[in-house]
Amino acid sequence: MALFLLGLFLLQTASVFSWSAEFGRNVTTVHIYETMSIPVRISKDFNDKLNCFMTATSSDESILMVDLELFQSDYASHNCHGMLNITGVFLGKAKIMFNQSVTDIKHVLSVATIRQERVIDHIFTGSVIILVSLLYINFGCAMDWSVCQETLRRPIGPLIGMFCQFIIMPLLSYGIGLVLFPTHPEMQLGMFFTGISPSGGASNIWTLLLGGNLNLSVTMTTICTLVAFGMMPFWVFTLGRYIFDRGELAVPYSRIASFAAGLIIPLAIGYLIQRKLPKLCRIMVRIMKPFSAILIIFIIIFAIATNLYLFKLFSLQIIVAGMGLPWLGFMFGGLLAFIFKQTIPDIKAIAIETGIQNTGVAIFLLRVGLKAPEDDLTTVLPVSTAIMTPLPLIVFYVIKLVRDRKQKIPSSDASLDKFKNEN
């Protein structure tokens, strides 16, 4: 009797779970707002109780919506035929699960919703590549090796800056990504790539405006730019690999290697201009600071104007991440410089150099290195960081202006009193 019941149970189990699905075509991507219909056939190995009451569900209906229409058309072979309708809602990846009951999930399809490529998208990517290359040519022209050598004779400042830039910032960006986006590896990746990017040229401008050590800032920017060629691939292939694994993404080894090698070329061109064409070099150095500012503003405005989906992606977590990385960078850089008893101008330079990331390089790497939809989804993090980075610096600059103005007024009154007394 026990054997009979066991055999009956196994037969019922087999009749429930032993079905298979065949699709008319292989689908891995669907465009936003596009509905794709796919022929589907469901068949069973057992012919005792076939029914077509199967369902297809999406793991995330904010990304992908599905509808399965099945009907039993072949009673002899016990097959169910129908159509699977897939509708792209927004950027991202979702899984389509086919089941007869809550526990009977037999087939799972992974489908990505992507944007349809436009000419403006290629223009944006190409313009970012060109502008970043021009910026690195300017870096090559602006490198003052004599100043670097003088600063490196007391290397404590640059060493603090390098530690902050290439140890603290990557770890901070990795931690922020895990905390704020625990189930979204693509957002973790955008945050991480922003954190491993070298310090931005705008740091020199802000250091000058806020009364920091400009020579130290320029030296740190130069050193960080050079060291980034090795440290960015290092972090991507070590700690970043865990993010790629969580998101089931392939690590773009060749693209990242090409990126690192590609930026050396404009840097070398700038150095050759400095050596061979000094007049042209002076002109390029003169425009480097405004050019850096224009680059940041251009990337932000162009990215938003051509990719309005960024507004949909912006959330409280995105804003907090955009604030958290640079603002914490300012704090950690300044605190570490203070602990090592640096001067006030040096503390300002190290803090600013640590917090300001080259978001243009991050966007460039994400756009070139990743495929859709990850290239779109990840871009929002460096854009958010670029928007949020200057906010505390603007506040400090206004405070500095007010303080400087107040200090000048008493000194003017004192001079006037002295003039009256003498007369």
Task: Write the pLDDT tens digit of every residue in 230-260.
Answer: 888 888 888 888 888 886 666 666 666 666 6
Which region among 15-29, 71-85, 277-291 has the lowest average model confidence (pLDDT)? 15-29
Whether residue 423 is contained in a domain is answered as no
Residue 224 shares a structural domain with residue 155: yes
Residue 108 shares a structural domain with residue 125: no
Residue 206 shares a structural domain with residue 82: no
Residue 240 shares a structural domain with residue 295: yes
Final residue of a structural domain among 70, 87, 114: 114
- Quick one: average pLDDT of 126-142? 74
Whether residue 270 is contained in a domain is answered as yes
Q: Tell which residue, 286, 142, 287, has the closest CA to residue 226.
A: 142
348 phi and psi angles, rounded to 5 deg = -60, -45
Q: What is the pLDDT of residue 423?
A: 47
284 — pLDDT class (breaks 50, 70, 90): confident
> What b/e readout covers 301-316, taking b as 16+ CB neighbours within 10 angstroms?
ebbbebbebbeebbee
Task: List Cα–Cα distances, 131 to 294, 297, 384, 387, 397, in angstroms.
Answer: 10, 12, 19, 18, 28
Residue 109 shares a structural domain with residue 124: no
- Quick one: average pLDDT of 135-139? 74
Judge whether residue 18 has pLDDT over 80: no
> What b/e readout covers 23-55, taking b as 16+ CB neighbours within 10 angstroms?
eeeebebbebeeeeebebbbbbeeeeebebebe
Judge whether residue 153 has pLDDT over 70: yes
- Quick one: average pLDDT of 3-22? 45
% the chain with pLDDT above 90: 13
The enclosing domain of 99 has a CATH number of 2.60.40.10
152 — pLDDT class (breaks 50, 70, 90): low
Residue 169 shares a structural domain with residue 261: yes
Winning range, highest mean pLDDT, from 43-52, 72-81, 271-280: 271-280
Other C-beta atoms closer than 10 Å to the C-beta of 7 total 10
31 — pLDDT class (breaks 50, 70, 90): confident
Exposure on the CB side of residue 34, measured as CA atoms within 13 A? 15
- The pair of three-digit structure tokens given for residue 369, joined into one six-digit string: 């290195």
The enclosing domain of 304 has a CATH number of 1.20.1530.20
87 — pLDDT class (breaks 50, 70, 90): confident
Residue 94 shares a structural domain with residue 124: no
293 — pLDDT class (breaks 50, 70, 90): low
Residue 54 shares a structural domain with residue 202: no
Whether residue 125 is contained in a domain is answered as yes
Q: Distance between CA 231 and CA 148 in Å, rounded? A: 20
Q: What is the pLDDT of residue 413?
A: 47
266 — pLDDT class (breaks 50, 70, 90): confident
Whether residue 126 is contained in a domain is answered as yes
Q: What is the pLDDT of residue 256?
A: 61
Task: List Cα–Cα distances, 309 to 32, 38, 181, 378, in angstroms.
Answer: 11, 27, 18, 12
Whether residue 421 is contained in a domain is answered as no
Q: What is the pLDDT of residue 410?
A: 54
State pTM to two decimals.
Answer: 0.71
Residue 307 shares a structural domain with residue 186: yes
Domain that holds residue 47: 22-114
- The pair of three-digit structure tokens given for residue 388, joined into one six-digit string: 């949020």
Q: What is the pLDDT of residue 13?
A: 40
- Quick one: average pLDDT of 90-105? 72
Final residue of a structural domain among 87, 114, 141: 114
Q: Is the CB of residue 341 less than 8 Å from the CB of residue 281?
A: no
Final residue of a structural domain among 96, 114, 132: 114
Residue 138 shares a structural domain with residue 101: no
Beta pairing partners, 32: 88
- Quick one: average pLDDT of 151-156? 74
pLDDT: which is higher, 46 or 129:
129
Whether residue 357 is contained in a domain is answered as yes
- Residues 193-233: pLDDT tens digits? 999 888 766 787 788 788 888 778 877 877 787 788 788 88
Residue 51 shares a structural domain with residue 190: no
Q: What is the pLDDT of residue 258?
A: 66
Q: Is the CB of residue 331 less than 8 Å from the CB of residue 169?
A: no
Residue 37 shares a structural domain with residue 181: no
Whether residue 409 is contained in a domain is answered as no
Q: What is the pLDDT of residue 325?
A: 93
Whether residue 176 is contained in a domain is answered as yes
Count the domains in the chain: 2
